[in-house]
Amino acid sequence: DAGITQSPRHKVTETGTPVTLRCHQTENHRYMYWYRQDPGHGLRLIHYSYGVKDTDKGEVSDGYSVSRSKTEDFLLTLESATSSQTSVYFCASQEQGYEAFFGQGTRLTVV
């Protein structure tokens, strides 16, 4: 399996607190993605990156920001968590035209 790890795997946080999820890949892939998975919606793209410091919004980017200071790391930040952001978050990495490799997911609960 491709080396892509997410941390933490589980987190419970309170409404209004900032939260950062981390994604680390060892494949030197150019592209990295953050998705959220919710029942009935499949995976929805939050943000993606096409290189160091190069990021773009996906379809559900409101309330989220990302940063990529190194090829291997892609951070997702919820500036002020809300209950609607309770979800399972997946990170993925990819080289253009090839398959995307996914992390194991982070289950985030906002109470």
Q: Does 83 bind another protein (CB under 8 A)?
A: no
What is the phi/psi pair of residue 2, to 5°? -65, 150
Please give the structure tokens belonging to residue 74. 């892609």
Q: Does 74 bind another protein (CB under 8 A)?
A: no
Q: Does 34 bind another protein (CB under 8 A)?
A: no
Q: Give how far the C-alpha of residue 25 lies from the chain's centroid of Cα atoms, to the nearest Å.
A: 12
Among positions 14, 42, 53, 62, the unique one binding another protein when judged by CB under 8 A: 42
- 84 CB-contact burial (10 Å; exposed 0-12 / middle 13-18 / buried 19+): exposed
- Which 1-30 residues touch another protein, going by CB under 8 A? none
53: left (phi over 0), alpha (psi -120 to 50) or beta: left
Minimum distance between the CB of residue 19 and another protein, rounded to whole angstroms? 20
> Applying CB under 8 A, which residues contact another protein?
31, 33, 35, 40-45, 48, 50, 56, 58-59, 90, 92, 94, 96-97, 99-100, 102-105
